[in-house]
Structure 1
Amino acid sequence: MKDRMQELKAAKDSDDDDEVAVIVDRDHFMDQFFEQVEEIRGDIEKVAENVQEVKRKHSAILSAPNTDEKMKQELEDLMADIKKTANRVRSKLKSIEQDIEKEETENRSSADLRIRKTQHSTLSRKFVEVMTEYNSTQTDYRERCKNRIQRQLEITGKTTTNEELEDMLESGNPAIFTSGIQMDSKIDKQAMSEIESRHNDIIKLENSIRELHDMFVDMAMLVESQGEMIDRIEYNVEHSVDYVERAVSDTKKAVKYQSKARRERMYDVSRGLTAPRSNSWGEQRAFPRGRREQRSRAVTPVPGSS
């Protein structure tokens, strides 16, 4: 009888040890997860800061009396850094999403999983918000460059409509702007130099906008998987990509039908993603690093997420 009691006690001790090991293991995993959350949040904030700097560069370039090549290079470096950091964020968010989907497929449900889903949702929404602002910044700068070109053309005596100017920009040939213009004065030459400079800026912007469009499509699917969508994505992607895709269309009629079809696709997506937008960036800052405090302060999970 004594031996049997010792066996039972030993078995209980073994079970307790296993339970402690699992808890410690899980705590270590969540600590690593929150470290990753902080890294992603830091990258998103870095992109947001760079976007504000891009805005300042845009204003400085447009207000400068002469082309400032050094400032333009700084702008290109900023844009390259935004692209690099944004791709890193997108990759990490997709990795977290895949881990969550795997656990859900295995029918696992826990407070930890709900916390991770909430954090992933918050980071995804903030990332889309920041990238939407960047896209708006780019398209706004394109419009301002186009307006400058139009004003400079007027100085040389060449008046253009908005549609004519778009056609000229889509040609990709700076010489089309000088066609029929007699550059008899210093003012005319300065105006043409400004036109060529802004045209080059627009070409670079359109490449950036195209890259942003690809990222938006990817992130839209990421947010869709959570049952949420940022409405501004559709507006900014739709209007910015119009500038790029028109350039590869054979006729204006083709552009019209292509744009209509794209809008219908975007509307179909938005109609299927009607979950309301909620939770501000500040509501779900990183959980404290203390494990127990992390759990006690976790945001209430979205219904149906467990």
Structure 2
Amino acid sequence: MKDRLCDLQQSAKKEMSLSALVERLGEEWPDTSERTNLLNKASSSKVNTFLTHVDELVNDMNGMETLLDKIKDWHWKIIVEPGDHPEMNVQLDDAVASYTTMLYKTQAALKSLNAGVEVQFGKPTDESAQTVEARIRRNQVMTLTKRLQGLLIAFNDEQLTYKDKCKRKIQSYMKISDNAVSEEDLEAIIEKGTLFEHTKVLMLAERDKKALYDEVKTRHEDIVKLEGSIKELHGLFVELATLIQSQVQ
């Protein structure tokens, strides 16, 4: 039986769903026993369930890419527009929480699919069609896992970038208040939770200085939330890396 794995990989790059891919292969292959074998497999309830899960995961990851773009837009607006943004901050927090939830949900689904593929690989069989089907499944799960890892890395990079911009914003406002600190000192101040001891000078009656204080306070809160999120993402990244390593083996 001719190995069509390369054809599948090329078609997958064109964002064709796996279910559509099976239908296409059925049309392209000659009417021989090998086509009949594969189509019989593809029509089984287990295969259809697998294809449905794959398509759902692809849609979820497409949604995550869109959500990440929105998060980047909110980060940009918050940084370039001075002052506190309560409504925007709530939307940003909700988006980050949704993205994180989707990361965990998708990872759990991929682990389940991968476990099923490994069980199929472990079954002795002399049927070449079933062997190819197992390879297709494993390749598809590995591709999805690597894509999820890419989404995780992109999200983490954006969080780190935003954290750095928040720190620079705080430094800028503290410099305006004649209370400048170095980056190293700012790290220590944030870690110890004593930032507001250094910003009391901003708490004056003038509206502009009150706005500066609010800005520093909000950016500090953002940094604290970001540090918690980054630590949480590290654990998820390790799990995904382990899953990818097991697939390679």
TM-score class, shorter-chain normalisation, is 0.7 to 0.9
Deviations 1:247-296 (A, max 9, x none): xxxxxxxxxxxxxxxxxxxxxxxxxxxxxxxxxxxxxxxxxxxxxxxxxx
Whether the 8 Å contact between 2:83 and 2:214 is mirrored in structure 1 is no
| Correspondence for 1:60 among 77, 81, 98 | 77
Distance 2:91 2:146 in 1: 29
The corresponding residue for 2:131 is: 110
* 1:182-201 → structure 2 map (5 Å cutoff): 183=204, 185-201=206-222
Shift of 1:226: 2.3
Residues 107, 179 of structure 1: alpha-carbon distance in 2 compared, 3 angstrom cutoff: farther
Structure 2: stretches of 5+ with no match in the other structure: 1-35
* 1:108-257 → structure 2 map (5 Å cutoff): 110-178=131-199, 183=204, 185-227=206-248
Matched, 1:46 2:67: no
Deviations 1:202-252 (A, max 9, x none): 11111111121111111111111123xxxxxxxxxxxxxxxxxxxxxxxxx
Distance 1:177 1:143 in 2: 19
Deviations 1:129-177 (A, max 9, x none): 1111111111000000000000000011012111001111111244233
Structure 1: stretches of 5+ with no match in the other structure: 1-18, 228-304
The corresponding residue for 1:75 is: 92
Letter in 1 for 2:72: K
Letter in 2 for 1:27: S
Shift of 1:184: 6.9
Whether the 8 Å contact between 2:41 and 2:47 is mirrored in structure 1 is no
Distance 2:81 2:52 in 1: 43
Provide the TM-score with structure 2 as the length reference. Answer: 0.77
Shift of 1:181: 6.5
Paired residue secondary structure (1:205): helix
Residues 71, 182 of structure 1: alpha-carbon distance in 2 compared, 3 angstrom cutoff: closer
Whether the 8 Å contact between 2:202 and 2:213 is mirrored in structure 1 is no
Q: Figure out how many residues of one structure are paired with residues of the other and give that number.
A: 209
Paired residue secondary structure (1:110): helix
Matched, 1:101 2:118: yes
The corresponding residue for 2:15 is: none
* 1:259-278 → structure 2 map (5 Å cutoff): none
The corresponding residue for 1:280 is: none
Q: After superposing the two structures, state which structure 1 stretch, 184-193 or 116-125, moved more.
A: 184-193
Residues 211, 182 of structure 1: alpha-carbon distance in 2 compared, 3 angstrom cutoff: closer
Whether the 8 Å contact between 1:168 and 1:176 is mirrored in structure 2 is no
Matched, 1:87 2:108: no
Q: CA RMSD in A?
A: 2.4
Letter in 2 for 1:118: N
**Which protein shows a greater Rg?**
1
Distance 1:213 1:62 in 2: 25
Distance 1:224 1:36 in 2: 22
Percent of matched pairs sharing the same residue:
27
Shift of 1:180: 6.6
Whether the 8 Å contact between 1:50 and 1:82 is mirrored in structure 2 is yes
